[in-house]
A and B are shown apart, each in its own frame.
Chain A
Amino acid sequence: MRRKAGVGAIQKQKLEQEKYRDKGTEIQENQFEQMTKQMETFRVNLEEFASKYKNEIKKNARFRRQFTEMCASIGVDPLASGKGFWSVLGIGDFYYELAVQIVEVCMATNYKNGGLISLDELRTRLIQARGRRKEHQEITNEDLLAAAKKLRIFGNGFSIVPIGRGKHLVQSVPGELSMDHTAVLQQASLSGNAYISKSTLCKELKWEPGRTQKALDHMVKEGLAWLDEQGENETLYWFPSLFTACIVSKE
């Protein structure tokens, strides 16, 4: 029969545990100190790097992408805060500025497209609005996506709707876009026209007419689609956000 652990044994155990804990904190502190040192050198290096390449990041789209890809692979978000030391590179400022401009363009165009704008149109308008100097002009669609994704922090005002073939729509009003509505937009975009009809949708997506009608009615209700009763056989639903003349018009 085993004896129960006596008081002496318990105290011994306690002592051992305390020793372990002391050692643990010691090791932790050591590591922490080392980390702080490493971070410090890292910061110095980064500052050097920044002073050397700051302009390059602002002006060269490819360089910018490579830099953000590198950050992503080591698990750092250079855009997370304006106070992070990544911001010495001005990369944050670049994207925040871009985000503000995206909001402005979306506000300026939502009277005609119902708050839905294609990434290409957004880019064209942004480039028009920014100065003529060359470094203001080099914005890629990736930059726009990165900036627009950050806008989501402010709540569900902005979202990005992928519509196939690498194209995106940026939605700037908090209306609900379900999977069904996204599918409708995708079909309209894939067809290469700015419109879609009920029968095409039923055929392509193998949907019930009722479901199709419901999705289309919603798009009309949100002001995203316009009805055209003068089509060949049936009602056509047009999307100004996909309509070329609307996209390139200067208004």
Chain B
Amino acid sequence: MAEIEWPWQYSFPPFFTLQPHSDTRAKQLAAWKSLILEYYRITKQAIVDIREVHSSPLFNNSAINRILFRQDNGKLSSEAILLILEELAKSGNASPLDKTKQRWLIYWHTLEEW
């Protein structure tokens, strides 16, 4: 498996907290989008299952002890991931596989590009 070169944001702790300021949040989501696409392209995966993402190093950086948008109970917030996936869907890089939006298909390239 090819090694992914993590962007600087991945080791930046607040990257894992949803930012309240709208401009900063836009930058944050954009960075997450490109990181997810890059990660799935390099690891050659295509399916995100929201129930399993907490075990993925992508959303859980154990080196700095931060999990994507962790909530007070220590659990991963599925809303946060949904937020990013919806963003990806907007640009045509993702689509839900079932009605409950638990499993998502990730397109490294949009369908038009393919």
Contact = CB atoms under 8 A, between A and B. Distances in A.
Interface of A: 111-112, 114, 195, 220-221, 223, 226-231, 236, 238, 240, 243, 245-246, 248-249, 251
Nearest to A232: B65
Contact of B17 (A114, A230, A243, A251): A230
A227 B8 contact: no
B27 to A, nearest CB: 6
A112 B8 CA distance: 10
Name the 7 nearest CB pairs between A and B, nearest first: A226-B14, A249-B8, A228-B14, A245-B8, A229-B17, A228-B13, A238-B14
B20 to A, nearest CB: 6
Given A226-B19, A229-B70, A231-B13, 18 more contacts: A111-B27, A114-B24, A220-B20, A220-B21, A223-B21, A223-B24, A223-B27, A226-B24, A227-B14, A227-B19, A230-B66, A230-B67, A230-B70, A238-B12, A238-B13, A238-B14, A251-B7, A251-B8
Contacts of A243: 8, 12
B37 to A, nearest CB: 15
Contacts of A245: 8, 11-12
B23 interface: yes
A229 B71 CA distance: 9
Contact of B12 (A220, A229, A246): A246
Nearest to A243: B12
A241 to B, nearest CB: 12
Contacts of A227: 14, 17, 19-20
B16 interface: yes
Nearest to A245: B8
A220 B24 contact: yes
Given A220-B21, A230-B67, A249-B8, A112 B27 contact: yes
A221 B21 contact: yes
A192 B67 CA distance: 24
A37 to B, nearest CB: 61
Interface in B1-48: 7-9, 11-17, 19-21, 23-24, 27-28
A240 B24 CA distance: 11
Nearest to A220: B21
Contacts of B66: 228, 230
Contacts of B70: 229-230
Contacts of A230: 13, 16-17, 65-67, 70
18 contacts: A112-B27, A114-B24, A223-B21, A223-B27, A226-B14, A226-B19, A227-B14, A228-B13, A228-B66, A229-B70, A230-B67, A236-B13, A238-B14, A240-B12, A245-B8, A246-B8, A246-B12, A248-B8
